Amino acid sequence: MENKVIELDVREDLKNKLEPFQKIMSTIAELDIDDVFILHAPFKPIPLFGVLKAKGFEYKAEEIEKKHWKVTFTKRGASK
């Protein structure tokens, strides 16, 4: 079975002063082990790293350009 890759860009939401946290949490709720969630944000979303780490995600953040961060979250399984 192929892993899912879901991309979400919250830059416009934040520009319009809309809080994207619920949208992000709804998006990750449907992910399984080894699925990938790619988030586009206008800043490095450091507080989100801890929240998603607690839900089993690893992440890699990269600054694409000023005001555009791409963070790739990968869901990992529990250690055996």
pLDDT tens for the chain, 80 residues: list them: 688 999 999 999 999 999 999 999 999 998 999 999 999 999 999 999 999 999 999 999 999 999 999 999 999 965 43
Global pTM value: 0.91
Each domain of the chain, given as residue ranges in start order, spans 5-75
Pairing mode, strands 68-75 and 57-65: antiparallel
Q: Cα–Cα distance between 20 and 8 in angstroms, integer?
A: 10
Superfamily of domain covering 5-75: TusA-like domain (3.30.110.40)
How far is residue 4 CA from its own chain's centroid?
Answer: 13
pLDDT given at position 70: 98
Q: Cα–Cα distance between 76 and 56 in angstroms, integer?
A: 6
Q: What's the N-to-C CA distance of the chain in angstroms?
A: 21
